[in-house]
Amino acid sequence: MRRKKRGMYMLEFNIEVVRLVKGGQAVSVTAKVLGIPKVSLDNWVKLSAKGLLKGESPRVLRRLQTLRRWSHEQEIESFFTRNARTRCAHGAGASWRVPLFVGCN
C-alpha cells in the first residue's frame, strides 16, 4: 500500500484559511473546497486560538534555506562564468586583462 504524500502549506495560506473559518465558513466545506485535509484545518484553527500559528514549520524552513542557498550558488557561478567569458573575449593580448581561467588565449 502506497503512503499518501503529505502536503506542505505556507504560513500565509494557513492564516488566510483560518481567517475564512473564523469569518463563519464551515471547516468541512472550506477544507473540501480547498482540497486540504479537514484534520489539518482543525489543527490550524486550534493553534490560531492558542496564538501558536505564527511561524513556518521546521521542514518548510529547511526547504526555504536550501532553495536560497542554491539560488545564491547559482548567482555566484553565473557571475564568474559571465566575467570569465567577458575577460577572454577582450583578448589575452591586452596587458591590462589577465585571463582568470586556464584555456583563455
pLDDT in tens, 23-57: 999 999 999 999 999 999 999 999 888 887 776 66
Q: Which domain does 35 fall in, by range?
A: 8-55
Confidence (pLDDT) at 33:
93
Q: What's the rounded mean pLDDT across residues 78-91? A: 64
Is the CB of residue 53 less than 8 Å from the CB of residue 44?
Answer: yes
Cα atoms in the 13 Å half-sphere on the side-chain side of 19? 6
Same domain, 34 and 44: yes
Confidence (pLDDT) at 20:
92
Same domain, 32 and 48: yes
Average pLDDT, the chain: 77
Same domain, 37 and 61: no
Same domain, 16 and 39: yes
The yes-or-no verdict on residue 71 having pLDDT over 80 is yes
Same domain, 23 and 50: yes
Is the CB of residue 8 less than 8 Å from the CB of residue 64?
Answer: no
DSSP, residue by residue, 28-92: HHHHHHHT--HHHHHHHHHHHHHT---S--HHHHHHHHHHHHHHHHHHHHHHHHHHHHHHHHT-T
pTM higher than 0.75: no
